Structure 1
Amino acid sequence: MSLGLTLLVVAFIASSLLGVYQLNWNDFLLLFKSIFDDTVAVNPTDAYIFFDVRMPRTILAIIMGAGLAVTGTSLQGMFKNPLATPGIIGITAGSALFAAVAIVLGSTIKSFLPEILHYSLISIAAFIGALLVMILVYSISFKNGKTHVVIMLLAGVAIAALAEATTGFLTFISKDDELRDLTFWRLGSLGAANWSKVMILFTINLICLSLLLGNGKALNAMMLGEENARHLGINVKQYHAKIIWLSALVVGTSVAFAGTIAFVGLIVPYILRLLLGSDYRLILPLSALFGSVLLLTADIISRTTLAPIEIPIGIITAFMGAPVFILILLQFKKAL
């Protein structure tokens, strides 16, 4: 835990300092001090870059990384398989598809909705897409009182391919301004972070993660098999429903605000299990911490490697996650 907190603090400071507009350590200390002391004089440009550009982006990465890692860990525990992450089983693709529908057909859809929902249309659509795909994959893979992992993975691949194809068609028929938005969603970026998005995502993740982090004991029981979990007094159906709804909400909101960011929920729990074993009472809170570190590090890489050009963060996480995915396949190929 102390290692994770140290890495998070280091990544937070690095994210605050690094970028096209350089801030030094003294600037950082002065700006940080000005939060608590209004009399401290700071450079207006430094203050704008720090408080209105860097800080919202940094905090959004921390919150989003924690949410994606915890949902990935929860789904892996629920399905008893290290490949059961939102990206692999199609949840992220489904969420991105519905966000794309809202972007391309938004003007038509808004005419049937009350005005209060217009601003949140993409977020609502992304959540619905994540939820529908999660329910569909779970329904296909669940038979005779248990979840069939191979069927789940194949269903996820098929649904993700269908979602990608439909998103590709929407991209083909989209207008120029819609095309720019679709490119953003498909590649992923935290460049549009602002304090409003931070507050919305913080509220949603605070509620969802507070409910998911307490599932460690139940997930440990589910690892023994669903029948054994029932004998231990675990309401398996209730826990499944809770994980599905909360995961869909977290993933849907993340996709709505930052586009498709895959593999965070795969890398973090896999490494933690290698190092610490499979006790979800320990892995769940640590996955939140190291998920934040991972996504924040990926964001730093995305905006500093080819500065002033920003590499989409989804590309960075894919480069990080694909080798881990291959390692998991090699490790579990006999079981699969």
Structure 2
Amino acid sequence: MDNANRGFGLYYWVLGVLLLLCLLVSARVGAVSISYERIFLFLRHAITGGNANATIEERLFLEIRLPRVLLCAVTGAALAVSGALMQALFRNPIVEPGLVGTSSGAAFGAAFVFVMGKSLSGTWVDVAGPFLLPLFAFAGGGAATWLVYRLSNVFGKVNVNTLLLAGIAVNALAAGGTGFFSYVARDPQARSIVFWNLGTLSGADWSNTGIVSASTIIGIGLSLRYAKALNALMLGETEAGYLGVRTARLKSRILLINTLMVAVATSVVGVIGFVGLVVPHILRLLKSTDNRFLIIASALLGAILLNAADMLARVIVAPSEFPIGVLTAFAGAPVFLYLLIRAGRRQQQGGFYA
């Protein structure tokens, strides 16, 4: 372990402990409050299989509350790491999956499956099974992200103004497509699309928690392989090329990793914005811009912040549930405006993010 990684270790431990505490509190909070003693008892039963006649409270915890808490954690990690990757790739701190079209493109792909899924036929549909929704979300998110990148890459350099305009246009196009499917859908389908677009974890179960966990773990593992290359890219594409980084291949692979994590998470929980914007920025202010640190720390802090937001969403209008995507938008939009103004000033002065 080098000196840099040793310096990051304390932050990993602190964030790890905070995450465990946050998960424990989140498992307790909700329309039905569960004591910590009961939580540990239920977990022991689940591990040892020692209670064949589970109570309603125990089933509620093991089948609804626990998968929701874990799904929230891995979703927050996926969105935060994706934000760190996009900001490193575009070399701009105001980029996040929602701004570059990944989330809206994934939403469009998922809305297509919601409305047209029953009309799809073929052997591949039967084979895809529960992966059909993530597959279409991945295709939609990947296409939208690639389009935004191509439009913003003016003369081989990403221009922040062009990036924002391209993101607005592609997001509007994807939102229009999602709106069209909402319009032609039957009432239950339309309501599902509307609530899903606001962001919700109410449909969490062990199946979709496993799918999102797998995509997130794979995405984070692959991201760490390219952390040093992303550090070199921060110097500029030409300079990174001199250091042996194949920038074209790096870009395509980072975009694929980003799309994998965001699209799969979005297909399950809906559109949740600004997590990928806020988390990496906080970590840069706290410690370092080193992507080896940002990727791991973003996963931990993203899980913490999204679980905190989910707890608030569950209690703010209890026993109903406030849409978590609306909550993160209220919190993240002011931060985005601040970063946008700050980035504009840096661009006028020159420097790394100009």
Global fold match (TM > 0.5): yes
Q: Which moved more, 1:94-103 or 1:106-115?
A: 106-115
1:22 and 2:30 matched: no
Partner of 1:294: helix, strand, or coil? helix
**2:71 and 2:204 in contact (8 A); partners too:** yes
Correspondence list, 1:7-18, <5 A: 7-18=18-29
Correspondence list, 1:189-268, <5 A: 189-268=200-279
Deviations 1:74-128 (A, max 9, x none): 0100000112211012211111012112212223334695422354322211110
- Structure 2 distance, partners of 1:115, 1:30, is 40
**Structure 2, unaligned runs of 5 or more:** 1-11, 348-353
Per the alignment, residue 326 of structure 1 pairs with 337
- Structure 1 distance, partners of 2:307, 2:153, is 36
Correspondence list, 1:1-336, <5 A: 1-39=12-50, 44-110=55-121, 114-334=125-345, 335=347
- Structure 1 distance, partners of 2:156, 2:333, is 32
- Structure 1 distance, partners of 2:110, 2:49, is 41
- Structure 2 distance, partners of 1:76, 1:147, is 12
Give the drift of 1:328: 0.4
**1:30 and 1:40 in contact (8 A); partners too:** no
- Structure 2 distance, partners of 1:114, 1:198, is 21
Aligned Cα root-mean-square deviation (Å): 1.8
- Structure 2 distance, partners of 1:116, 1:42, is 35
**2:125 and 2:132 in contact (8 A); partners too:** no
Paired residue type of 2:188: D
**2:84 and 2:276 in contact (8 A); partners too:** yes
Quote the sequence identity (%): 36
**2:227 and 2:291 in contact (8 A); partners too:** yes
**Structure 1, unaligned runs of 5 or more:** none
- Structure 2 distance, partners of 1:217, 1:120, is 32
- Structure 1 distance, partners of 2:56, 2:281, is 42
**2:220 and 2:295 in contact (8 A); partners too:** no
Tell me: CA distance 1:289–1:175, structure 2 relative to 1, closer, same or farther (3 Å): same
**2:273 and 2:325 in contact (8 A); partners too:** yes
- Structure 2 distance, partners of 1:212, 1:111, is 34
Partner of 2:95: helix, strand, or coil? coil
Give the drift of 1:251: 1.0
Partner of 1:120: helix, strand, or coil? helix
Partner of 1:333: helix, strand, or coil? helix
**1:34 and 1:42 in contact (8 A); partners too:** no
Q: Which moved more, 1:42-51 or 1:296-305?
A: 42-51
- Structure 1 distance, partners of 2:69, 2:53, is 20
Deviations 1:204-258 (A, max 9, x none): 2221110012322111111111100111111111111111111111111111111
TM-score by length of 1: 0.94
- Structure 2 distance, partners of 1:109, 1:324, is 42
TM-score by length of 2: 0.90
- Structure 2 distance, partners of 1:118, 1:12, is 31
